[in-house]
Amino acid sequence: MNDDEKQELREALLGQRKNVLADVSRHGVKTGAGAGAIADETERADIIAENMVEHQLGFSESKLLEKIEYALAQLDQGTYGICDECQKEINIERLKAKPSVSLCIACQTIKEQSG
């Protein structure tokens, strides 16, 4: 991977991080009356379900943010683009498509099939 590709991928990761942080702000914890203060069972169930979705969104966003931060640290250390499992280079097209990946296609496939 050349320096221009590294810079392009760094910018992609920084843009992705900015978008995730904006999503986290948009899906932040809601304030107001808790489910216990609501008399209607259907309304209470709707709020509980909504809170579960918000929690899952937050969890997914935090996992993606961790992957982005890890990739940026690897860029700084000079180890970005090396598969965490087999230590081979990750295809540049894969990195451009999904800059936060840390596994090559073969290792990702094995991981998905085993778990």
pLDDT of residue 85: 97
For the chain, the domains span: 3-114
**Would you tell me how many other CB atoms lie within 10 Å of the CB of residue 81?**
23
| Topology of the domain covering 3-114 | Four Helix Bundle (Hemerythrin (Met), subunit A) (1.20.120)
**37, two tokens:** 């203060």
pLDDT grade, residue 35 (50/70/90)?
Answer: very low
70-111 pLDDT, tens digit per residue, is: 999 999 999 999 999 999 999 999 999 999 999 999 999 999
pLDDT of residue 28: 56
Contact 6, 96 (CB under 8 A): no
More confident residue, 86 or 55: 86
Q: How far apart are the first and last CA of the chain?
A: 31
**105, two tokens:** 């296609």
CA distances from residue 25 to 68, 70, 80, 111 in whole angstroms, order as listed: 17, 21, 28, 31
Instruction: Name 5's Cβ contacts closer than 8 Å, sequence gap at least 6.
Output: 92
